[in-house]
Structure 1
């Protein structure tokens, strides 16, 4: 149970950092900010492992997680703009 809470907390921090670094006004709730961070972390872990950046059981890395979260945020913004147009 503690592992899940830790994942949610770290995901929230990663989501906040990604939203701070990406320019623009992305209106996301706290829940979606956490989902963004957790998604970025999961992508960083699995892409990093498949490309040989990380081994099994190693953390994905904070910087890679933030970069993937920014990528997800940019994708969200592009889809939102396309839907609104």
Structure 2
């Protein structure tokens, strides 16, 4: 089981459609916790390849990097979806 993490500006319907397009599905927060407790998982973080230093890149979302300004936070969300491996 793989959890994909992708920062993007999407509403819920768009996020569901994107996850389905990528061959996965959106999990609930409770499901993520259950999977993390009971199964080994890998986490992939996808970045903005066109501008790797932009705030929407993966490193901006780690606890180590908290330099994302409020304006950008309102435009972006972290999207998690599950893919069977």
Structure ranking higher in strand proportion = 2
Structure ranking higher in helix proportion = 1
Higher relative contact order (CA 8 A, sep 6+): 2
TM-score norm. by structure 2 comes to: 0.26
TM-score norm. by structure 1 comes to: 0.26
